[in-house]
Amino acid sequence: MTAMVKAEGVHKSYGAAHILKGIDLEVSRGEVFCLIGPSGSGKSTFLRCINHLEKINAGRLYVDGELVGYRQKGDKLYELKDSEVARNRRDIGMVFQRFNLFPHMTAVANVMEAPVQVKGESKAAARERAMALLERVGLADKAANYPSQLSGGQQQRVAIARALAMEPKLMLFDEPTSALDPELVGDVLDVMRGLAEEGMTMIVVTHEMGFAREVGDALVFMDDGVVVESGHPREVLTNPQHERTKSFLSKVL
């Protein structure tokens, strides 16, 4: 079985700033894959490359065996059309650090939006599923509220429900709890834990070492655009091999 995500020598730079300097990694199906590292290490950028919000400059990136953003014919690479990129993104859910809920729509409308607009689902069916998803993240009673009337933790849970509404095969979490008050982090992590137990493939950029240790199946420590160390979370977090990993963990643990 092919890996869900496979990166081969992925490079990314913005002008002169070289953010990713050759990333090689593999994420298996059903795995909770944690990316940790200091800010500016390139972990969020790498995550955004996976659904082609950022274009990579070199290397190859595969999701479910298919090249991200390009099509290979012989030894030539063709850029995908916008519509093809959009189609591929349907299967990849993304949760942002700043939630990015649509502020002009209620919670339930946020969750319904993509199924109705992108998949052409009927409104009634989409609403029913959206309500079930909100129920699942514990927010059925907030369905009619606008994002500005919800706490950060509630907004993030709606955002997870919104991503799940497209029935993705892969979920990307970009520091999902970094913008939350400490007492609200637990609710969001609980929802993510539930997802992991159901076998969702998840790539999680996080500073929550407890979550990584408890739920993660694999962990990568990135610094300065390269993978420094990888392995099982418990091993890497309790017995780091590299100096850089040790000094980072000593600061955050």
- Interface ranges with other proteins (CB under 8 A): 51, 53, 82-83, 86-90, 92-94, 96, 98, 100-106, 113-114, 117-118, 146-149, 162-163, 166
Q: Which is nearer to other proteins, 86 or 252 (CB)?
A: 86
Between residues 41 and 44, which has the closer beta carbon with respect to other proteins? 44
Of 251, 227, 229, which Cα lies nearest the Cα of 240?
Answer: 229
Contact status, residue 93 vs residue 172, Cβ threshold 8 Å: yes
Nearer CB in complex with other proteins: 94/204: 94
DSSP 147: G
Least Å distance, CB 175 to other proteins, is: 13
How far is the C-alpha of 166 from the C-alpha of 197, rounded, in Å? 19
Report in angstroms how near the CB of residue 147 gets to other proteins at its nearest. Answer: 7
DSSP state of 163: H
CB of 131 to other proteins, least distance (A): 18
Query: Based on CB atoms, which residue is closest to other proteins, 87 or 234?
Result: 87
Rounded to the nearest whole angstrom, what is the least distance from the CB of residue 104 to other proteins in the complex?
A: 5
DSSP E strand stretches across 15-169: 17-27, 32-36, 58-63, 66-67, 70-73, 76-79, 92-95
Which residues, including other chains, have CB under 8 Å from residue 221's CB and lie 6 or more apart? 36, 37, 227, 228, 229, 230, 236, 240, 242, 244, 245, 248
State which residue, 45 or 245, has the beta carbon closest to other proteins: 45
* Least distance to other proteins, CB of residue 248, Å: 27
**C-alpha–C-alpha distance, residues 184 and 86, integer Å:** 32
How far, in Å, CA of 29 to CA of 36, rounded? 20
In the bound state with other proteins, the residue whose beta carbon lies nearer, of 60 and 90, is 90
- Minimum CB separation of residue 159 from other proteins in Å reads 8
Task: Confirm if 236 and 57 have CB atoms less than 8 A apart.
Answer: no
Strand partners, 73: 76
